[in-house]
Structure 1
């Protein structure tokens, strides 16, 4: 990189702390359509790392960037490399940490990472990706370095990573949390779920005609003290592909719940999906602790199921 190029290029400036891939892709699309952009992707981890394979940083040609590929220690350097790639009009692979030529840039974990920087020449593939995610469908894109292209895939693998000469990025819909329960507990879980960036639906147990969307990326939290009030939503959740179904109540209450389900013909395989008592830790005696316990349990289940 020449001194002239360094002087002329803008300084990288972080514009937000967003981590949701859809937000990062949206930033990349907006920047590419206005003045040019690059999408940097974590494609290799050597040792430890603060982010998972497939993590992104989007960089605008004016120096603005968002996203993370580390704990925050190399993002500005990644953005600087992306700005040079935009100027050159060529993709590039850059190493940081272990095995990197940048001796003054180290990772606290002691490992190393490789970043693929792709200059966006078209946003069509990313536009389509965001449309699919908005419809709550998973998407996979293959980055082929030799062609400097992003290619949509028909089949979405479980995890991102290299498949031959292609690096596969996997995008999944945001977690939706469907909540039904006592006002205090339900409100506490709602507030924390929204603060965590989840899509939240609060269900009125007495509104039997209410339409409830439960897909494979949905967690259902039943926070009732009355088994009658949870029954309609619980049966719907058990018939759905929801990745998490949790219900409040003691071990004795849960035995009563199972007896009720068995009496109406629900199979043991179905009610074995219920996490009861709900939450990662317990028992809790106030709504804030319950909300932390429930959301931590949902986050752990999402990670186990989808990475």
Structure 2
């Protein structure tokens, strides 16, 4: 079954280069009308120009597609709302949102200024929040929407010198978890994509990565699936070099301990707490409490 997007309108942030550009080009090639958003700033978020977004629009139009450029910063909620309003005025709907815009300000936590931490969280997390909030009611009214948050292995598993980036990227997983629940009744499916690709964002890692195998175009098939009509929801899809994996936030079966020496019992039985046999993926956060209460009730029978 071919994945197509005729009649669909997509907004892709950070689409002036790298992964975002590949996403925008691929969506347009498969029939979507695409808003190419890019502030046009440096990798650390400084500066700005619409040139990058306009160049991608020119590529799409040269190939026979439809697109419009937008240079709003995702950190500017009013500018994002204006972008969505312009999209609605031109095409009348928004079906797909790809939250891809990002910046890096890497340093060890000991050396990092709070402003650099705050700014990275603002771009990645609040930028995605601003864009998602701007399209949410449109998608609810339509009874259809596909949203992708761009997370990272740095958030899922950590990476030296990226406490700000990792915190922001893991926060997007939490955002996805709740929005996928809240959007379900209106067929709004929300997922996360965790890419491994050589782009401007990863150029400093060149010596450690086989760059020829990590083209951003090899990640985009995962994005296309996550925003398709048949997409899953609440999925964390890892992608890179043509490989695709699914990451989960799981919960072990654990143990039940109480009493004055509960901390000591926990220390003695921590291997049992950590045992992954029978681990589950909870349907929602309340599942943790229900499991713990069930253990407590069983212990008092």
Per the shorter chain, which TM-score range? under 0.3
Pick the structure with more helix per residue: 2
Pick the structure with more strand per residue: 1
Q: State the TM-score, normalizing by the size of structure 1.
A: 0.25
Look at both structures and tell me which one has the larger radius of gyration over its CA atoms: 1
Structure showing greater relative contact order (alpha-carbon pairs closer than 8 Å, 6 or more residues apart): 2
Q: State the TM-score, normalizing by the size of structure 2.
A: 0.25
